[in-house]
Structure 1
């Protein structure tokens, strides 16, 4: 999009909506976990893997999916993702045993991957350079926004029609968003196509620079912490504190929604000249401080506030990472591939987080022993933020 063109903010909003419904498909299991575990006889660790199954494909093939989107068109890949999520969510309601349920979660993972590698790339095409950091910071609202709305509203739906009704509702919303986007005339291909180059050569060219790896690694370590809290907070509140599913879901939704404040703040900080890597490092340090309170013997109110603080301060990191993609991509033709690498790293963290925390708790018998997992992850992300500043070689900018 040329500088004299205008940003299509309606298209940006519709793309955020696509991301939100994709996140809804991922996080719908969180409030439904007690019900689903009871229906299928799943233990704590199996429940963690069921939550994370949606992330397996993205964790293994994110960058390849990004290259595919670069080659075949972002709009086509986006529409495929919304379609497969709608179909898989509906199919899961027919499950009578765990294998079909796990298969449908895997298919939803394919749909989620398709949406999150293509939508931010489409945003680059639909925005002018001046507005791009702000639009990409808005994009990061998709996960906490879609997740928190789903977690908040899910108990009402499940009371009326069970978890199967929730799955069908989200399937229908995905179809509605797909219909809206199909009517908007989104650009289907990047300006600098890569269709003529061999796939493996494009793949190597897109990921040979260290910047995308630093960004993807930082996002992975952030995601490990964030999703571990979001996946298990409802179960902890129900099983350990005796709260109702509805109240536990509402409290979890507030924590998840807190992430949005960090997402939106990042756009302001980037416009003020702060560096992507610096924001990543500061965000990681604040997450570590929050974890010290979460996994402590302080009163439950203090620990709950710390969960919200971890979510809010952590929200800066994904926005900073995704906003960096157009700058750290070695060529405009590889923005989709860089987004794919970031998504791949993210989903490695999403895949590992819930079962890792569950394994620690199952081994020790104490939720508080999860602290070390969070401190190690936060320290790694902070170091990668510093490394991103170094490899990008940007000029010094105001410190936080």
Structure 2
């Protein structure tokens, strides 16, 4: 295969990388805006904890169904066109949600938002990797891995103010303005017909299904995505439900803002460790071990809120390390750009699987068993993710992944 040479073989286009990161933040807010308004949604729609929890995660349904096919199809459409179109669709859906339609129509909007989320999480990281010099690739992929945590931190800080003073409709309208603004900036900043924004391999149309099947059978595709899956099973739920276990209202507000920041710090830490200290597989193993240890400690600290918050912060910091390690693993293990794009499609699919099943599962376990239910689920996911991280050590890193 002929690899396209570009100036980014020796330097990183940091401005474009940051704008693409902002695109990821804007679509992650599709989860965050419903997470911070969870109690308000419960009161407004009166649909119960499980259905309201599903409203948070239903954005992931489209990625769950079409993730791998998106990794193949988006490359054929062109990453720039897919990215900007997805952002525009997300903006329209947010404006419709701002009208506060009935619950059924709101859920339809949330499902359609899934197309927006999927297009961005497939196209943006592939473009970031291509715009990054090899010596910066783990750093930029670690940066990309923070987009979920940054979205929750920004939404927790600014969105909470909008929610308290102006209501849910204004929160959703503000998100529509933000995601639409990012789309406009990228439309004018990203060059048209740039080969870096297109798929660099030729694929016969009737081989798409065969290509999708190959993605599932390739451990270099499957392992990073599966490691990421068990992180996503926990992440949205931890940010949503852990603060609700704290009785003090002020402390709850502080921890709701701090937990996403801890996740961001963990992702940056994992990217740095993966670039300079150890293989990303080893970072993932360490991170899952720390999450499990912190979860066990939480069981004994419910009656001491300050220590509970500290340990919860360590747990979410470690969760952030998982996503940084998984994202760094993708360009490290991929053998060519096409394989890397396919892995991001699989990451989108399995990540959305985790984001879809996580919140309702944690809501149910919390209602049945309290804190012990939450801890039990965390331990199950950590064991699964840790075992897959150990398995991924069998595969050598590819020093020339692009």
TM above 0.5, yes or no, is yes
Indicate whether 1:295 and 2:302 are aligned: no
Q: How do residues 352-371 of structure 1 correspond to structure 2 at under 5 angstroms?
A: 352-364=357-369, 366-371=370-375
> Structure 2 CA distance, aligned partners of 1:214 and 1:26?
25
Q: TM-score, normalised by structure 1?
A: 0.91
Q: Tell me the CA shift for residue 14 of structure 1.
A: 0.4
Contact 1:207–1:338 under 8 Å retained in 2: no
Aligned to 1:226: 235
Is 2:47 the partner of 1:47?
Answer: no
Alignment of 1:54-133 (within 5 A): 54-133=59-138
- Alignment partner of 1:315: what SS? helix
2:249 pairs with 243, 248, 265, which one?
Answer: 243
Q: Is the 8 A contact 2:100 2:169 kept in 1?
A: no
Distance 1:195 1:13 in 2: 34
Hey, what's the Cα distance between the residues in 1 that align with 2:46 and 2:126? 41
* Residue pair 2:9, 2:134 contacting (<8 A) in 1 also: no
Distance 1:138 1:217 in 2: 20
The answer to which of 60-69 and 180-189 deviates more is: 180-189
Equivalent residue, structure 2, for 1:208: 217
Aligned to 2:389: 385
Provide the TM-score with structure 2 as the length reference: 0.91
Which one of 334, 337, 340 corresponds to residue 342 of structure 2? Answer: 337
Aligned to 2:378: 374
What is the CA distance between 1:344 and its match in structure 2? 1.4
CA distance in 2, matches of 1:263, 1:7: 20
Retained in 2: the 8 A contact 1:206–1:330?
A: no
For the residues of structure 2 that align with 1:279 and 1:298, how far apart are their CA atoms?
Answer: 32
**Equivalent residues of 1:194, 1:333 under 8 A apart:** no
Paired residues, number: 388
Instruction: Give 5+ residue unaligned stretches, structure 2.
Output: none
Q: CA separation of 1:243/1:160 partners in 2, compared to 1, >3 Å: closer, same or farther?
A: same
Q: Secondary structure at the match of 1:179?
A: helix
Hey, what does 2:289 align to over in structure 1?
285
Distance 2:173 2:227 in 1: 34
Task: Report deviation, 1:236.
Answer: 3.9
Describe the superposition over 1:192-220 as per-residue Cα deviations: whole angstroms up to 9, x where unpaired.
34465621122223332113222112111
2 CA distance for matches of 1:367 and 1:379? 19
3-state secondary structure, aligned to 2:167: helix
Is 1:21–1:174's contact at 8 Å kept on the other side of the alignment? yes
Check if 1:139 corresponds to 2:139. no
Task: Flag the 1:249–1:90 CA change in 2: closer, same or farther, 3 A.
Answer: farther
Native 8 Å contact 1:295 1:370 kept in 2: no
For 1:73 and 1:249, how far apart are their aligned partners in 2?
A: 42
**Displacement after TM superposition at 1:130 (Å):** 2.0
1:262 is aligned to 2:266: yes
Tell whether the 8 Å contact from 1:155 to 1:249 is kept in structure 2 after alignment: no
Mapped to 1, the partners of 2:169 and 2:244 lie a distance apart of 19
Structure 2 counterpart SS, 1:198: helix
Question: Of 316, 325, 330, which residue of structure 2 is paired with 1:325?
Answer: 330
Greater mean alpha carbon deviation, residues 104-113 or residues 6-15: 104-113
Q: What's the counterpart of residue 275 of structure 2?
A: 271
Distance between the aligned counterparts of 2:324 and 2:58, measured in 1? Answer: 24
* Aligned residue in 1 for 2:171: 166
Matched, 1:27 2:36: no
Indicate how the Cα distance of structure 1 residues 281 and 304 shifts in structure 2: closer, same or farther if over 3 A, else same. same
For structure 1, the 5+ residue unaligned runs are: 396-400
